[in-house]
Structure 1
Amino acid sequence: MKIIVDAMGGDFAPLAPVKGALMAQEKYGVDIVLTGKTEEILKALQQCGCKELPKGMEIANATEVVEICDDPATAFKHKKDSSLTVGLNMLHAGDADGFVSAGSTGALLAGATLVVKRIRGLRRAALAPTIPTAKGKAVLIDCGANAECTVEYLLQFAYLGSYYAQKVLGVENPRIGLLNIGAEESKGDTLRRETYQKLKEAGEAGHLNFTGNIEAKEAMLGECDVIVADGYSGNIMLKSIEGTGKLLSIKLKEMLMHSTGTKLAALLLKGQLGDFKKMLDANEVGGTALLGISKPVVKAHGSASEVGICNAVRQAMEVARSGIIDDITQNIDKMRIEQKAE
């Protein structure tokens, strides 16, 4: 298997992407294509102790870089020789099995949509991170790609999330919840109420395991496996989780460092505290799958370390092996809403 890594994307590029690629090669035996400025990539490899290009690794030279300050909607068009554009074109041409970037989310979404293309019949691609819950983890879809949504978008997100939970995460018959301000069927705005009815119909037809509306607090307790949301509310939920995680870590550290007794307790709980920290660490997840694109694309966190890039490569491999894209393609008719003639 071969995965393309955008070596110029992210806060710590090119060193973190290069280190992460080397780590993934060693850990998973995957072939890697690094896209970006050849001289800078080779310099980063030297910093990692590689005097020459490792076996199974190649460089696709790109003279430009999409910066965070660039307009996401047009950056990949204006910078046609950027590491992002070069990598997406290679993926579209079939030169690799997946693509990973820690660069601009907006530019990656726009580039993947216009270069690699959406699966035919899908209205929008969606960002689908996995979030920690009291019972394990859940897929949150969408978390920022589509701030304004229609009923059909949300219906399709439910299917995409269900296939991802089943095929990639190994969840049998994933429970689908619609993020809302209350559990009752009548709760929420018009979009949520109409989406509820379409998801209910899909559940009654046996296409989805729809369990109803779910509040954010219940979702965090693990009461569903897929949380369906528009990108606006989904992003707020995701950022709230990230902020809460950091707050808990800060306060827990303050509490455990308070006295000799609490420091001793911290020493005794070292293993459990390490597990807790890992659960809240975005680098351990790897990245966010961009679902709905015709080939595997994974967005790593902008501040991803080499561990984060390595895990994002693993995630891209899992998506490529899962067969999820074929499943979505074959079942696209279930995800459409027939438009009534006026």
Structure 2
Amino acid sequence: MRVVLDVMGGDRAPEVNLAGGADALGRYPTLERLFLVGDKDVIEREAPNHGLDLSDKRVEVVHAPEVVGMSEPGAKTIRRKKQSSISVGMDLVKAGDAQAFVSAGNTGACVAAAQLKLRLIAGIERAGIATGLPNDFGPCHLLDAGANPEAKPSHLLGYAIMGAAFSSGVYGVDKPRVGLMSNGEEDEKGTAFTKQTFAMLKEFEASGRAPFEFVGNIEGHHLFDTKLDVCLCDGFVGNVVLKSCEATAKTLSKSLKASLTASPLRKLGALLARGAFAELKEKMSAEAYGGSPLLGVNGTVIIAHGGSTALAIRNAIRTAVESVDHKVNRHIAEALEMIQRVGQEP
């Protein structure tokens, strides 16, 4: 397994990326090569401070003198900064030198570079970010979580197909359940966009070609308490939902900590229940997921949160390894081929 790590991407670069990379090398033996892409001088100077041995044969430094800032426009900057760590790293995947790309950098730039350099899988109109949320019945993937803010109904149909293939191929779900984010469960609820998408999904399911079960409109709480594998939305809504969930979790955690340390008796209770709190943190923490796959491009691209910790970067690399191992893109391509065959049958 050969993975590219964008060392310069993210709010805490390069420190957390180097530390996360070192941790991943120690934990995942199938990671035969980790390409560290970024400013060579910076990498060589900082790597020893974060437990990363550059003399390790599994490590290769690839110089990229430019950095895409977190606030820069994605597509325009990718075309202008051809020697950025994102562009150079994506080129390694395009050339076949690496099988996956991981970055906590500018999301728009990562998506633009992936679609420009790797191209879309035949039959897919737009790539989408699939972000896992801790549903009571297993991960529910929000798709799209930010790649395509101005989506069309046909784009969401593509997300449904890709999300179902991802759930089947990675999690072994036989008939993934797919819902459409709206402001109510009733069929007539939603905007003109969601109503058009709803009608398209219903028609597609009725044709007998759908590799999923369309459960109709869903609301926010269904993401966590209902058996659901994929939640469809455009990238604007998905990103707002995701960041709202993250902020809510942080606020609750902060409030809970304050309450549990308000008195000696409460501190004792918290100490006795620390195992339960550790389990809850592991289940709810975004760090456990690490990164989100960008589905729909000819290559494995994992996009991590800009504020990722070293643990999140390690898990993003793990997600990259698992995505390649589970042949996610092959599952998507096979699903599209099956749909086309069924559509051609008399």
| Alignment TM-score, normalising by the size of structure 2 | 0.92
Compare 113-122 and 163-172 and name the one that shifted more: 163-172
1:324/1:49 Cα in 2 relative to 1: closer, same or farther (>3 Å)?
closer
1:51 Cα shift?
Answer: 5.8
> Does residue 100 of structure 1 match 2:111?
no
Match of 1:284 among 273, 284, 288: 288
Trace 1:41-120 onto structure 2 (pairs within 5 A): 41-50=43-52, 52-120=54-122
1:212/1:261 Cα in 2 relative to 1: closer, same or farther (>3 Å)?
same
1:281 Cα shift?
Answer: 2.0
Q: Secondary structure at the match of 1:327?
A: helix
2:185 maps to a residue whose letter is A
Distance in 1 of aligned mates of 2:51 and 2:333:
44
Q: Secondary structure at the match of 2:174?
A: coil
Trace 1:16-35 onto structure 2 (pairs within 5 A): 16-29=16-29, 30=31, 31-35=33-37
1:259/1:184 Cα in 2 relative to 1: closer, same or farther (>3 Å)?
same
* Equivalent residue number for residue 4 of structure 1: 4
Distance in 1 of aligned mates of 2:245 and 2:173:
22
1:146 Cα shift?
Answer: 1.5
1:331 Cα shift?
Answer: 3.2
Match of 2:303 among 294, 299, 302: 299
Q: Secondary structure at the match of 1:168?
A: helix
* Equivalent residue number for residue 161 of structure 2: 159
1:24 maps to a residue whose letter is A
Q: Secondary structure at the match of 1:74?
A: helix
Distance in 2 of aligned mates of 1:135 and 1:257:
32
1:314 Cα shift?
Answer: 0.8
Structure 2 unaligned blocks of 5 or more: none
1:174 maps to a residue whose letter is P
1:53 Cα shift?
Answer: 2.1
> Does residue 322 of structure 1 match 2:330?
no
Q: Secondary structure at the match of 2:56?
A: coil
* Equivalent residue number for residue 229 of structure 1: 233
1:269/1:194 Cα in 2 relative to 1: closer, same or farther (>3 Å)?
same
Distance in 2 of aligned mates of 1:111 and 1:327:
23
* Equivalent residue number for residue 123 of structure 2: 121
Trace 1:247-262 onto structure 2 (pairs within 5 A): 247-262=251-266
Q: Secondary structure at the match of 2:91?
A: helix
2:274 maps to a residue whose letter is K
1:18/1:49 Cα in 2 relative to 1: closer, same or farther (>3 Å)?
closer
Work out whether residues 137 and 222 of structure 1, in 8 Å CA contact, stay in contact via their aligned partners in 2. no
1:220 Cα shift?
Answer: 2.1
1:150 Cα shift?
Answer: 1.3
1:194 Cα shift?
Answer: 2.3
Which whole-Å deviations, capped at 9, do the CAs of 1:62-98 have from their partners, x for residues lacking one?
A: 1111112322121122111111111001100100110
1:49 Cα shift?
Answer: 4.4
1:332 Cα shift?
Answer: 2.7
* Equivalent residue number for residue 140 of structure 1: 142
> Does residue 313 of structure 1 match 2:317?
yes
* Equivalent residue number for residue 215 of structure 1: 219
Distance in 2 of aligned mates of 1:300 and 1:49:
21
1:52/1:108 Cα in 2 relative to 1: closer, same or farther (>3 Å)?
closer
| Alignment TM-score, normalising by the size of structure 1 | 0.93
Residues paired across the two proteins, number: 337
1:172 Cα shift?
Answer: 3.0
Compare 114-123 and 162-171 and name the one that shifted more: 162-171
1:132 Cα shift?
Answer: 1.5
Compare 149-158 and 201-210 and name the one that shifted more: 201-210
Q: Secondary structure at the match of 1:276?
A: helix
2:236 maps to a residue whose letter is Y
Structure 1 unaligned blocks of 5 or more: none
1:58 Cα shift?
Answer: 0.5
2:42 maps to a residue whose letter is E
1:129 maps to a residue whose letter is T
* Equivalent residue number for residue 269 of structure 1: 273
1:319/1:229 Cα in 2 relative to 1: closer, same or farther (>3 Å)?
same
Compare 254-263 and 287-296 and name the one that shifted more: 254-263
1:110 Cα shift?
Answer: 0.7
Aligned sequence identity (%): 36
Work out whether residues 136 and 222 of structure 1, in 8 Å CA contact, stay in contact via their aligned partners in 2. no
